[in-house]
Structure 1
Amino acid sequence: MKKIAILGSTGSIGTQTLDIVREQKDIQVTALAAGKNIRCLEAQIREFSPEVAALWGEADARSLRELVKDLPVRIVSGMEGLLEIATMPGTEILVTAIVGMLGIRPTIAAIEAGKIIALANKETLVTAGHIIMPLAREKHVSILPVDSEHSAIFQSMNGEREHGNEIHKILLTASGGPFRGKKREELKQMRVEDALKHPNWSMGKKITIDSATMVNKGLEVMEAKWLFDVEPEQIQVVVHPQSIIHSMVEYKDGAVLAQLGTPDMHLPIQYALYYPQRRNLSGKRLDFYQLSGLTFEKPDMETFPGLKLAFQAMERGGNLPTAYNAANEKAVALFLERKISFPEIPELIGICMEQCRFAENPSVEEILATEAEAYALIESRW
């Protein structure tokens, strides 16, 4: 039995990971962690029988303990609980699917404990890639990407570097989101409901808004730099509205390798859990006879400045990606609360990137301090 723990088990990636557990039958769930969805976590505990489960707040954890007192499961809470789950003896793979920089410390702890990381938490590498990747190499720990784009790149690179084949560039595909083709003036009128209508993917609210602003692609660009050890100028974003090609790699000889499939997160999740083995997976398959065509466009970074700001943050480095990420988290929350307009999201990111104190090689403490500083800058305006 393959033993896994899931941080963020009640979210989109977490629940789809559990779909794979149901289908494959040879995975044992040792631990589950969620933010505050008590009822969903209770149902998961009853179905998957983990040894440990966590909720962020201690009050919620107390409520859960009462609900599952008939079961042999230990309920923990807070960062202490996440760290315990991340380092549990016997667990082979930690699926990190929690949102935000909350994932940094548990990921570091899991690497220190020798766990394989199935990474679905972009912010960990965006803000702390300079800490995470050298540590993973030192501890000989694999970090396997769960994002569909990064999984596609990983699959397209499989075995190539071992043979000395050099990458020329990474072609990171983007759907363009619900506002593809619109101009900046039009975006001022876009409501929360409009931004949440993604044309291809079913995701949580935060990541769906990030897709609409193209900030999500900016985060993926920064993550790709660390995951695949490439320079910023080797990463190119290509808008591909059909979301059939999940990303591509161009090699020095001009060959381009790509991974194609339906827009379904189950495949990259399962690939990370069983790498390098490919298992049968139920669901819709790609039918080339039904494809009307595949199209590609250059991203409009003037209309969607969040993507341009990501390249700027990546090129300067230090704690600038943290300022970018933290400002976006706060700005998206304000947009979902209908307190700011859609174009104000990247505006606030730019302000925080300019005004946060710069740190060249930030420690985890400095990363978290930058997050707090960006939050405070935005809160001072509202």
Structure 2
Amino acid sequence: MKKRIAILGSTGSIGQQALNVIYQYAENFEVVALTTNRNVELLAQQVKAFHPSYVGIVDTESAREFGNYGLSDTEVISGKDCLVKLATLPEVDLVLVAVVGIAGLEPTIAALEAGKNVALANKESLVAGGHLVMEAARKSGSRIIPVDSEHSAIFQCMAGCDDPRRINRVYLTASGGPFRNYTKEDLRHVTVNEALNHPNWKMGKKVTIDSATLMNKGLEVIEAHWLFGLSIEQIKVVIHPQSIVHSMVEYIDGSIIAQMGKTDMRLPILYALSWPERLESTIGGLDLAAMEPLTFEMPDFDRFPCLALAYKALEIGGTMPAVLNAADEVAVEKFLKGEISFMEIPVMIEQAMKSHKAIQNPDLNTILRVDHSIRRQLM
């Protein structure tokens, strides 16, 4: 029986790669719903290829434009609530949350509350509202299967171990991005094009810039805390330029289990879609004898202060990670537009954090209110 899937954010980088995987494994998966913010041209192409019963288009003007494509067999749901509506469809087995930003939080919670398993590629859901997401999963018994390569690696390395007390620490690996060997002076003159030129991974612009500042790894630290019930002290970041080891788990007996694979996001996507099964990959494996040496080094918190800010936000807790996330999204957008320099990104984030008094145990409305307030403050 085919697994029935809804992809929230099908026109983004992860969404497109997920559809590529589904196309190759058509006998295993059925696409029930696809969503986009406003990229209706690409969405129309996807509808023609995969014939979903539903599409969701957040931007209402774009939804009207979609009507020009004559795809009358697909029901169109538009507006900001479409993500929640499609995430809770009775006929959906698995929801892939691949939207970018805080927009992923509400549909993630809604899908879990509706008893759906969630393949989660949206960092912001756990960063801003991790306690709400995990509580929803606990109450319904639904599973969160991480899509990020690092958390997918930890998820696989922890198979058979649900007790964080047996874990000494986990190592989230980071390539170091394009500026691993830059001095602080060099970093002051980084251009947008240079920052978007990641050495190993093909990703969307926001994630690529976050990788260059190491904020991406900082957000992953917060995610790992919620996903695996780990303390701050148990979560370490290590620079691994080859991006072959996607993360490692060190157990209390000193043994380390690492997950290795090619730098291709379709691999963790395939695992998340097929879990708890494994499907034979068409991407191929590693040639161990031909690989370059694998190296590891500690991150430089001074040159890449975003990583330290993420640890600080997690330590403070409450609404502070939501502030970190909102400020980062605004700062990255300003950098991409040429309004601030690369090294002003962490400065803007730190200022936002200093201006905020964290609210502990926030509900969803409080998180969304704080998120909106920080964005308005920084725009």
Q: TM-score, normalised by structure 1?
A: 0.97
Give the match for residue 290 of structure 1.
Answer: 290
Q: 1:351, 1:377 → 2: CA distance?
A: 11
Q: 1:165, 1:378 → 2: CA distance?
A: 40
Asked if the contact 1:357–1:370 (Cα under 8 Å) also holds between the matched residues in 2, the reply is no
Deviation, 1:165, is: 7.2
Mapping of 1:194-273 within 5 angstroms? 194-273=194-273
Tell me whether 116-125 or 76-85 shows the greater mean CA deviation.
76-85
Asked if the contact 1:42–1:67 (Cα under 8 Å) also holds between the matched residues in 2, the reply is yes
CA distances 1:191-242 after superposition (whole Å, capped 9, x unpaired)? 0011011000001111000000000000000000000001011000000000
Give the match for residue 121 of structure 1.
Answer: 122
Which letter does structure 2 place at the counterpart of 1:359? Answer: I
Gaps of 5+ in 1: none
Of all paired residues, the percent bearing the same amino acid is 47
Give the match for residue 110 of structure 1.
Answer: 111
Pairing partner for 1:65 from 64, 67, 85: 67
Which letter does structure 2 place at the counterpart of 1:262? Answer: K
Give the match for residue 85 of structure 1.
Answer: 86
Deviation, 1:360, is: 1.0
Q: SS of the residue aligned with 1:117?
A: strand
Q: SS of the residue aligned with 1:76?
A: strand
1:326 matched to 2:326? The reply is yes
Give the match for residue 186 of structure 2.
Answer: 186
Deviation, 1:78, is: 2.0
Q: TM-score, normalised by structure 2?
A: 0.98
Q: 2:109, 2:239 → 1: CA distance?
A: 33
CA distances 1:87-130 after superposition (whole Å, capped 9, x unpaired)? 10110000000000101111111111100000000000011011
Tell me whether 278-287 or 131-140 shows the greater mean CA deviation.
278-287
Give the match for residue 57 of structure 2.
Answer: 55
Which letter does structure 1 place at the counterpart of 2:113? Answer: E
Deviation, 1:185, is: 1.3
Q: SS of the residue aligned with 1:238?
A: strand
Which letter does structure 2 place at the counterpart of 1:187? Answer: L
Q: SS of the residue aligned with 2:288?
A: coil
Deviation, 1:2, is: 0.8
Give the match for residue 74 of structure 1.
Answer: 75
1:30 matched to 2:43? The reply is no
1:341 matched to 2:341? The reply is yes
Asked if the contact 1:322–1:371 (Cα under 8 Å) also holds between the matched residues in 2, the reply is yes
Asked if the contact 2:127–2:219 (Cα under 8 Å) also holds between the matched residues in 1, the reply is yes
Q: 1:102, 1:326 → 2: CA distance?
A: 11
Asked if the contact 1:42–1:68 (Cα under 8 Å) also holds between the matched residues in 2, the reply is no
Q: 1:201, 1:192 → 2: CA distance?
A: 17
Deviation, 1:284, is: 4.1
Q: 2:85, 2:16 → 1: CA distance?
A: 21
Q: 1:170, 1:68 → 2: CA distance?
A: 50
Which letter does structure 2 place at the counterpart of 1:342? Answer: F
Which letter does structure 1 place at the counterpart of 2:3? Answer: K
Q: SS of the residue aligned with 1:353?
A: helix
1:148 matched to 2:158? The reply is no
